[in-house]
């Protein structure tokens, strides 16, 4: 039994409504506890929906502020901004994604012995870790605290390369995201904030799993952080494009499936298509659960776009993009695909596209120049700018 993750916007909005009353005190007090599959009442499990923007960060943060005020929902809002911070961090340093891919491939080529197969097969003998592997494979999701323990045990107890753990998670997570996943793994390893690593402790696991697990004596609890160069300095955020004056063809993809709030009223959509390349997450592809989730989200985005602009909306292959673009002869407009596999494949298609960025990303991403704590200081300002309909949004 697992949480019923919302597969489309209607289900995501329903989950948002159901969880909103718990975004304040319940979230702040309960978010670190993982009572196990099907029992989690104090986290939203909205991440697969937010990741595809079946609901947007603005909608989720807006619901939290409206229900609890910016102080009452402070913890929940901060976590939503962690996502925006990681996205911005990678967007300002796209070379980190390429460096991760190169290190992952080198680590896979160099690995010897059975330890990797045992870890991925959930056969390490560490009961909590093996249970999380099974849950990741079956549910396509893990609680945040479990992800932290999982990554820490992978790196420091099993002594496996962090890149291969990040790759394993990415292949199985419904919410798999280039920025949140890569940079969270780096953070656990101690190479995102150099020298500061996250060490999973048996007592912490026992406490926050409410005694479901107690790996006393099984974990390396005094490891040194992984050594690696610090993150590169940030570059400038590449400029986004403007909407053409005349008609255009709209191309949707898994990074942003709410075109209704991206495009202004009166936008002259003249053709619609969608692409998805979930298998491009890794040279080893992705789980069938992940592929199904991405296809369902894309189908929902296309169906809503078709209804909104009154025309058919087709799911096409990336290889068909040049013919589709040439066929209608219109400028192609697409939501900004952040650094990751979709952006890589779209860039490789050879089709010129106008890439639109949301106000949310435009405001948040350039601020991801240093650590999260300086970024966090700007949350009240960001809320005031991004949620202007919430009178108390910018109150400290
Ligand atoms: C090793 C590791 C790998 C991770 N990989 C991913 C990933 O690929 N995709 C992903 O979306 N998240 C990732 N996370 C972050 C986090 O674990 C998930 O976003 C969160 O568990 C989702 O559950 P929820 O929707 O119930 O979150 P809630 O606690 O209800 O939070 C609401 C929303 O805020 C965002 N959020 C919350 N915590 C974080 C966080 N720490 N970092 C970034 N965003 C956050 C998510 O969009 C989430 O849906 C990873 C964390 C770790 C430690």
pLDDT for residue 208: 98
What is the residue-averaged pLDDT of the chain?
A: 96
pLDDT at position 381 over 70: yes
pLDDT for residue 388: 74
For the chain, the domains span 9-90+362-386, 98-208, 248-356
pLDDT at position 82 over 70: yes
C-alpha 54/C-alpha 302 separation (Å) is: 11
pLDDT for residue 107: 98
The band of 252, judged by pLDDT with boundaries at 50, 70 and 90, is very high
Cα of 47 vs centre of ligand 1, distance in Å, is 6
- What residue owns the CA closest to ligand 1's atom 32? 80
User: Quick one: which of 109, 130, 105, 141 has its CA closest to 290?
Assistant: 141
Cα of 144 vs centre of ligand 1, distance in Å, is 6
- What residue owns the CA closest to ligand 1's atom 4? 181
pLDDT at position 392 over 90: no
Atom of ligand 1 at shortest range from CA of 86: 43
pLDDT for residue 389: 73
pLDDT at position 226 over 60: yes
Domain 248-356 class in CATH: alpha beta
Q: What residues are in contact with ligand 1 under a 6 Å CB criterion?
A: 31, 43-47, 50-51, 79-80, 82-83, 86, 143-144, 147-148, 151, 169, 173, 175-177, 180-181, 184-185, 188
Residues 275/255, Cβ–Cβ less than 8 Å: no
Cα of 175 vs centre of ligand 1, distance in Å, is 8
The band of 203, judged by pLDDT with boundaries at 50, 70 and 90, is very high
pLDDT at position 109 over 90: yes
Compute how many other C-beta atoms are within 10 angstroms of the C-beta atom of residue 232.
12
Domain 98-208 class in CATH: mainly alpha
Tens of pLDDT, residue by residue over 160-186, are 999 999 999 999 999 999 999 999 999
pLDDT at position 106 over 60: yes
What percent of the chain lies above the pLDDT cut of 90?
Answer: 95
pLDDT at position 396 over 50: no
Cα of 44 vs centre of ligand 1, distance in Å, is 10
Show Cβ contacts of residue 360 under 8 Å, excluding neighbours closer than 6 positions: 56, 57, 58, 84, 386
pLDDT at position 393 over 60: no
Tens of pLDDT, residue by residue over 147-164, are 999 999 999 999 999 999
pLDDT for residue 395: 41
The 3 state secondary structure assigned to the chain is CCCCCCCCHHHHHHHHHHHHHHCCHHHHHHCCCCCCCCCCCCCCCCHHHHHCCCCCHHHHHHHHHHHHHHHHCHHHHHHHHHHHHHHHHHHCCCHHHHHHHHHHHHHHHHCCCCHHHHHHCCCCCCHHHHHHHHHHHHHCCCCHHHHHHHHHHHHHHCCCCHHHHHHHHHHHCCCCCHHHHHHHHHHHHCCCCCCCCCCCCHHHHHHHCCCCCCCCCCCCCCCCCCCCCCCCCCCCCCCCCCCCCCCEEEEEECCECCHHHHCCCCCCEEEEEECCCHHHHCCCCCCHHHHHHHHHHHHHHHHHHHHHHCCCEEECCHHHHHHHHHHHCCCEEEECCCCCHHHHHHHHCCCCCEEECCHHHHHHHHHCCCCHHHHHHCHHHHHHHHCCCCCCCCCC
The two beta strands, 354-356 and 332-335, are parallel
The band of 390, judged by pLDDT with boundaries at 50, 70 and 90, is low
pLDDT at position 233 over 70: yes
Average pLDDT over residues 118-133: 98
């Amino acid at each position: 039994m697992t949480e019923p993750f919302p597969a489309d916007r209607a289900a995501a909005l329903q989950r948002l409504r159901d969880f909103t009353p718990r975004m304040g005190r319940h979230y702040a007090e309960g978010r670190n506890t993982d009572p196990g599959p099907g029992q989690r009442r104090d986290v939203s499990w909205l991440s697969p929906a937010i990741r595809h923007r079946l609901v947007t960060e603005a909608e989720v943060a807006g619901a939290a502020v409206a229900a609890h005020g910016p102080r009452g929902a402070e913890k929940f809002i901060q976590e939503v901004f962690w996502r925006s911070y990681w996205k911005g961090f990678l967007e300002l340093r796209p070379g980190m994604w390429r460096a991760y891919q190169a290190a992952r491939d080198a680590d896979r080529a160099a690995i010897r012995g059975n330890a990797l197969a045992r870890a991925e097969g959930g056969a390490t003998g560490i009961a909590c870790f093996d249970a999380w592997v099974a849950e990741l494979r079956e549910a396509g999701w893990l609680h945040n605290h479990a992800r932290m323990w999982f990554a820490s045990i992978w790196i420091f107890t099993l002594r496996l390369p962090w890149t291969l753990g990040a790759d394993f998670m990415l292949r199985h997570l419904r919410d798999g995201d280039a920025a949140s996943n890569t940079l969270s793994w780096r953070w656990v390893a101690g190479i995102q904030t150099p020298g500061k690593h996250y060490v999973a402790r048996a007592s912490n696991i026992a406490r926050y799993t409410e005694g479901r697990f107690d790996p006393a004596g099984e974990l390396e609890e005094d490891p040194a952080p992984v050594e690696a160069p610090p993150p590169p300095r940030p570059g400038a955020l590449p400029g986004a494009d403007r909407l053409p004056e005349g008609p255009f063809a709209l191309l949707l993809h898994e990074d942003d499936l709410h075109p209704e709030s991206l495009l202004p009223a009166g936008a002259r959509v003249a053709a619609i298509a969608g692409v998805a390349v979930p298998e491009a997450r890794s040279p080893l592809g992705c789980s069938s659960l992940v592929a199904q989730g991405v296809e369902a989200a894309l189908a929902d985005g296309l169906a809503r776009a078709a209804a909104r602009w009154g025309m058919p909306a087709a799911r096409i292959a990336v290889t068909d993009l040049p013919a589709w673009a040439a066929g209608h002869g219109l400028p192609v407009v697409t939501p900004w695909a952040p650094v990751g596999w979709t952006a890589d494949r779209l860039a490789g298609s050879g089709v010129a596209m106008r890439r639109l960025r949301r106000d949310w990303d435009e405001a948040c991403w350039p601020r991801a120049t240093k650590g999260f704590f300086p970024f966090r200081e700007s949350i009240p300002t960001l809320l005031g700018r991004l949620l202007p309909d919430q009178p108390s949004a910018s109150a400290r």
